[in-house]
Amino acid sequence: MINNPSSLGTKPFAMELQYNAPNVSGATAQYSGNISAVKWRHNGGGEQSYRYNYDSYSRLTDGLHSGSNNEQGITYDSNGNITALTRTGIQPAAMTYNYSGNRLSSIVKGGTTYTYAHDSNGNVTTDGIRGMTIIYNYLNLPKSVIKGADNLEFIYDATGVRLATKQNGTTQNYYTGAVVYKSDKTPDYILTSSGMIRKDGANYIRQYNITDHLGNVRSVVNQSGTVEQATDYYPYGLSFSNNNLTKNRYLYNGKEIQNQTLSSQFFGMYDYGARYYDPVIGRWIGVDPLAEKYFFLSPWSYVVNNPMNAIDPDGRDVWEINSLGKIVNQIKDKNQDAFYMVD
């Protein structure tokens, strides 16, 4: 539990995970380690909750919100590819997924068919829903994203660490480890273990992240105790709304959302390091670089389809997470994988 949603007081955020004794109406007790329900509350807001249903393989089938922000009717094929997902509320969508093998070929949404295409390495090159074209480098990382007259360019070093981001030829940010610079090469922010130090005019402001068990940033509080940003998420990672991204872009799983808009279309994917994740459809846009270790699962599947109980630290692994945010199990051993322990 992070504080108490029923008695928040002046605290910015509270959250309670429930397993085998849920008190959220309609929730079913889970005895396999899966979360049955979660309650949370932001300062100044009312209490909210989700209750979850799973299939016999512990894959999420429903995330039912106390309001209307559901992800429900989620079904999968035998390889773990999502075949149907209905999202209601703030960002509604009823989607049916079609495949050629494990490759997504199209999504039917609102009676319209959106086509997807891949390169020979399995990277999504045509994003049908966004209407964007994605080009990759030799590391299978997005090199450029194009929609209409707008383009986005990502620059990396030889190992795949991002160095800069450009939009329509103009540099937006330079990345140098923990320090990120603006286009004029003045500091934008400095990442810290608890959040960041952000440049605001002539001053530097320290920001603190309050995260849930998955590392999702739920509240950002500045050094004066003022809440700069509050974010809630659908189960597969799409945020209810994108607010104050100028204050913080590190959101789902603590990863940076790509907040650029191309021809009026928000990009909105997350950079995990080894590949990018699309929360709109709940899939990776590239193949797991160590896919042979998960031969039983579609290489585009996200955290074995259990996003409330597992995370992927960098796009190459699956970690099962307990209520304290601690790693309790690796779903499958990867002898060649990089392993990053968290505090």
Tens-digit pLDDT profile for residues 267-308: 999 999 999 999 999 999 999 999 988 888 999 999 999 999
Residues whose CB falls within 8 Å of the CB of residue 111, separated by 6 or more in sequence, listed in order = none
Domain boundaries, the chain: 13-340
The confidence band for 330, taking pLDDT boundaries of 50, 70 and 90, is low
Give the residue-averaged pLDDT of 209-214: 97
List the strands of the sheet with 103-109, edge to edge. 13-18, 37-42, 48-54, 60-65, 71-76, 82-87, 93-100, 103-109, 112-115
Sign of CA dihedral 331, 274, 238, 256: positive
Helix or strand run (H / E) with residue 200: strand 195-200
109 in Cβ contact with 93 (< 8 Å): yes
* Average pLDDT value for residue range 44-71: 97
pLDDT score at 331: 52
The pLDDT value given to residue 201: 87
